Amino acid sequence: MKLRDDLDDLEGYHSPQVDVAVRLNTNESPYPPPDAWREALLEELKSLPFQRYPDRAADELRRAIGQLHGVGPEQVLAANGSNEVIQALCLAFGGPGRPAAVFKPTYLMHAHIARITGTAVVEGERDADFALDMAEVERVVKAEQPAITFLCSPNNPTGMPEPEGAIERVLSLGSGLVVVDEAYGQFSPRSAIEQIAAGKPLVVVRTFSKTWSMAAARLGYLVGPADIISAVEAVLLPYHLDAMKQAAGRLALRYKAEMEARVATIVEERGRLTAGLSELPVDTWPSAANFILFRPRTKDGDKVWEALLERSVLVRNCASWPRLDGCLRVTVGTAEENDAFLSALREVLA
């Protein structure tokens, strides 16, 4: 069997999962979730009725997520990672004749997932500093009338939040749904969740994979107006969210203070990493996330990536991504991991 013609040239999005001492390539949390959460989850699993399908609407989980953001459960939809949320959005609002817009460089999966769902992708460019360029957004939106416009705040892989006021300006162009991917939202000074309102085509995507230290659980969610949430619900498979995951997410939210403490530690470490990088011959971009994009000035990005790997340090190689020639992206790890990364990089660039 042959892959669909329109997906012929589809390249996978993945980072090698090689065995290394210092793994700083996928923006996971370097810290595990609290032991108390693990115990509460194990306790709950003991009496979970495995013979029954899970709560199809994931009511309790949605209620708990809604409480976190001061909205009702009807304004929340949970799925298997935020990637599945993005897929559901494309299935619901994209498809033939309803393109999605992305502004590069940005999270490659927005375009990738859109194409898999049969949604055409129209592309615009960010400005020279990789900030959202409103003139370019206006040009693309007016010319292409996208059904979906993806923004990412903080943006991956650049680490920068979308500029203040940008979301309202995109909304004012009046073309379709504006999706703000806030996978790294807790690291950022502002969130678009406060701007969500009935009748406004704005939704925000979040994940448990990063700040909640639960990448293994594959849980993400969408916050938005109730009518948009029910439209997205219509394209999800029945019982798509298993009972273990629903419990894991619901219980995790009891440990918000611990999550915030981890975020604070990572932000501090990000500062240390930035300071360390500033002493080396690399260009960096200011980050409001748990990773830093950098470009070695004196050596080829691919070579630096390989030399780091030889020293058992794995970072993300973005060198072949559009407009990111020679760039690498490092996830903020534990203090020890960050030290190991900095000393390996110092050696490689010496």
Residue ranges binding ligand PMP (CB under 6 A) = 27, 81-83, 107, 152, 156, 181, 183, 207, 209, 215, 220
Residues 349 and 281: beta-carbon distance below 8 Å = yes
Cα(196)–Cα(226) distance, rounded to whole angstroms?
A: 10
Q: Which residue lies nearest ligand PMP, judged by its C-beta?
A: 81
Residues 29 and 211: beta-carbon distance below 8 Å = yes
Report the residue number, 75 or 83, with the smaller CB distance to ligand PMP.
83
Cβ 323 to ligand PMP shortest distance, Å: 17
Backbone angles phi, psi at 49, to 5 degrees: -75, 85
Cβ 51 to ligand PMP shortest distance, Å: 29
Cβ 37 to ligand PMP shortest distance, Å: 18
Strand partners, 296: 282
Cα(271)–Cα(61) distance, rounded to whole angstroms?
A: 34
What strands, in cross-sheet order, belong to the sheet with 328-331? 22-24, 313-317, 328-331, 291-296, 282-284
Report the residue number, 154 or 311, with the smaller CB distance to ligand PMP.
154
Cβ 15 to ligand PMP shortest distance, Å: 9
* Cβ atoms within 10 Å, residue 35: 8
Report the residue number, 14 or 52, with the smaller CB distance to ligand PMP.
14
What strands, in cross-sheet order, belong to the sheet with 76-79? 76-79, 220-223, 202-207, 177-181, 148-152, 100-104, 121-125
Report the residue number, 218 or 311, with the smaller CB distance to ligand PMP.
218
Report the residue number, 27 or 287, with the smaller CB distance to ligand PMP.
27
Cβ 346 to ligand PMP shortest distance, Å: 27
**In sequence order, what E strands does the chain have?**
22-24, 76-79, 100-104, 121-125, 148-152, 177-181, 202-207, 220-223, 282-284, 291-296, 313-317, 328-331
Report the residue number, 107 or 341, with the smaller CB distance to ligand PMP.
107
Report the residue number, 91 or 152, with the smaller CB distance to ligand PMP.
152
Cβ 106 to ligand PMP shortest distance, Å: 8
User: Where does 23-125 have alpha helices with state H?
Assistant: 35-46, 59-69, 82-93, 108-116
Cβ 186 to ligand PMP shortest distance, Å: 13
